[in-house]
Structure 1
Amino acid sequence: MDALYIDDQIFIPIISDYGFKATFGNETNTLFLRRALQALIKSEIPIKKVKFDKNTFEGITQDGRSGIFDLACTDENDNHFIVEMQYGEAPYFVQRMKFYALHKFNAMVKRGKFDYGTLTKIYCVAILANDIPPYSQFHTVANLRNEQGELIDEQLTFITIELDKFTLQEVDCETDLQKLVYTMKTLHTVTQPIQFPKFWDEEWLKVAIDELDSRKMTPDEKASLEILIARNAEAVKAESKKIKEAREAENLAVKTETIMNALSMGLSIEQSAKLANVSIDFVLSVQRQLTSE
């Protein structure tokens, strides 16, 4: 799914820098954020208030290299929420989620006197455009569990949404979670108002949709959007290049090691080349390297 905005689109994608900030990061009206968080953690208890933690991840909450844009907030019960949007490749998103959650955990512990038993919950949410974990479900909740899958601790909860795995149609969306993910995946594809699902009239979704309506944007807002689009496009391009180069380097290292092992076992240059699926010249270069060492 392409999360980048195209000029003739009516709605800006939620899973974009601008769209994320206008919806999840809307400090003027937090209705959408509160209802979305409640849906994401599958809680029956409404979230009444949220406070944005602007400086919680200062210097790392926006990673232009990977196209990730984070939000950190706290509800009225001091439960902490960290939300990530990722529309590009995310090979290390699990490590990133752990880093954010443990960073928050350490910050809570360092505040002074505390009781481990009274630490509030931390929810780390990753919303991904592409498939990452090898599971079929689009919504995954992870806690610390034992070998039998029995819950040990739920103070840290990791939640993953994968938009590519969401296949429900409009008529099948009944829960807030389903309505939220359907909206995130399809809103920017709408070309006519008659295509609106009925549930888009629900106030919490309407608040977000109105913020993403390009027809209601002022000239300054449109200019700001164009700047962000250009910036994001460059960031994604740079990150894709880095990932490609890293994979090529890893592949080269594997082939080099294969050739070294083959030569050390007495295989001929031709056999080594065939085994590693490389040219004879490449094998000769590895051989020279071994000789020089």
Structure 2
Amino acid sequence: MARYINPFTDWGFKHIFGQEITKDLLISFLNDLFEGEFCIASLEFKNNEHIGLTEDARKVIFDIYCTTNEGRHLIIEMQNRMQEHFIDRALYYSSRAIITQGQKGEWDYELMPVYTICFLNFEEAHLKERKFRTDLVLADRDTGQAVTDHLRIVYLTLPLFTKKEHECNNDFERWIYVLKNMNVFERMPFMAKNAVFRKLAEISDITALSKEEHEKYDESIKILRDNYATFKFAIKEGHDKGRAEGQAKEKKQIAQNMLKEGMAVSLICKMTGLDEQEVLKLKDE
């Protein structure tokens, strides 16, 4: 039996990075991610659910959304399975965090930076270079020079991080190694190097979870496994048209599993990419 929770379940990810009592873990990770660029002293969790600008506009639900002491907006997303338009989704999410900064009345359009950090448990086909970390900025096409630091999207493609424990040379690499392998560890590595990994071990120890936390984690694991099984079956069904049909079946099966567990329609839309009407139809069925 695993000793530590799987950080890439929806509940596990938020348990590690999305709580007030674990805020220092998120700050530590972000400071290691952006080392040499800026340093976060504190941050505040914001409402992760953003309604549309009009009644019929799509709602956005971030995994984790926060602002730093300097006013930077940070969106942290975790994605376990390939999604056809995930690049566009990250851009859409970033744009929503920009739009919400608009002010009524006199305003000179001064914006605070928006950073979207995406953990990918798959290789995104639209990222042409096969590398672990991809940083996207708004830049001049010819010179490559960034024209603003107010929009940044960072993709962390976990399958492409292949370093072993002894090969990790800094805390950022140690973070990625730990997160990628945490659910198979018998003992948390690097605790002697940085106290943050001792706290990570304490907060993620399955035996330390309350009964309610254990139930939520077990449910999150069940959904993850069901989704994976459905995904594998969809791939097995075939390619081209068969693959498209399989992916559609996968999304619907995942949505049905989530509906059975009483999950909110808005969250199901976010996690499957189905629109609200499709999910409501499945609910009626």
2:15 to 22, 25, 32: 22
Q: When the two structures are superposed, what TM-score results if normalisation uses the length of structure 1?
A: 0.71
Between the two structures, name the one with larger relative contact order (CA 8 Å, sep ≥ 6): 1
Deviations 1:162-192 (A, max 9, x none): 111111122221222211111111111213x
State yes or no: 1:76 paired with 2:69: yes
Query: Which residue in the other structure is 2:252 paired with?
Result: none
Identity value in percent: 21
Deviations 1:197-256 (A, max 9, x none): 33565222322232211121222221221122223444556677789799526879xxxx
Residues 113, 246 of structure 1: CA spacing in aligned structure 2 closer, same or farther, 3 A cutoff?
A: farther
Query: Which residue in the other structure is 2:172 paired with?
Result: 177
**Cα displacement (A) at 1:84:** 0.5
Please tell me the residue identity of whatever aligns with 1:125: I
> Cα RMSD over matched residues?
2.7
Larger radius of gyration: 1
2:157 to 156, 159, 162: 162
**Cα displacement (A) at 1:79:** 0.4
Asked if the contact 1:146–1:152 (Cα under 8 Å) also holds between the matched residues in 2, the reply is: yes
Please tell me the residue identity of whatever aligns with 1:32: L
List runs of 5+ in structure 2 lacking aligned partners. Answer: 52-58, 246-285
**Cα displacement (A) at 1:114:** 2.9
1:203 to 195, 201, 223: 195
Residues 217, 48 of structure 1: CA spacing in aligned structure 2 closer, same or farther, 3 A cutoff?
A: same
Return the alpha-carbon distance in structure 2 between the equivalents of residues 178 and 86 of structure 1. 20
Residues 109, 246 of structure 1: CA spacing in aligned structure 2 closer, same or farther, 3 A cutoff?
A: farther
Residues 251, 229 of structure 1: CA spacing in aligned structure 2 closer, same or farther, 3 A cutoff?
A: closer
Asked if the contact 2:234–2:243 (Cα under 8 Å) also holds between the matched residues in 1, the reply is: no
Return the alpha-carbon distance in structure 2 between the equivalents of residues 82 and 109 of structure 1. 18
Moved more, 239-248 or 47-56: 239-248
Return the alpha-carbon distance in structure 1 between the equivalents of residues 3 and 191 of structure 2. 18
Return the alpha-carbon distance in structure 2 between the equivalents of residues 242 and 105 of structure 1. 36
Query: Which residue in the other structure is 1:134 paired with?
Result: 128
Q: When the two structures are superposed, what TM-score results if normalisation uses the length of structure 2?
A: 0.73
Asked if the contact 2:136–2:152 (Cα under 8 Å) also holds between the matched residues in 1, the reply is: yes
Query: Which residue in the other structure is 2:216 paired with?
Result: 224
Asked if the contact 1:40–1:159 (Cα under 8 Å) also holds between the matched residues in 2, the reply is: no
Please tell me the residue identity of whatever aligns with 1:186: N
Return the alpha-carbon distance in structure 1 between the equivalents of residues 6 and 232 of structure 2. 20
Return the alpha-carbon distance in structure 2 between the equivalents of residues 56 and 207 of structure 1. 28
Residues 29, 115 of structure 1: CA spacing in aligned structure 2 closer, same or farther, 3 A cutoff?
A: same
Deviations 1:66-104 (A, max 9, x none): xxxx11100011100001101112332111101101111
Asked if the contact 1:80–1:122 (Cα under 8 Å) also holds between the matched residues in 2, the reply is: yes
Residues 15, 200 of structure 1: CA spacing in aligned structure 2 closer, same or farther, 3 A cutoff?
A: farther
Please tell me the residue identity of whatever aligns with 2:8: I
The secondary structure found in structure 1 opposite 2:50 is: coil
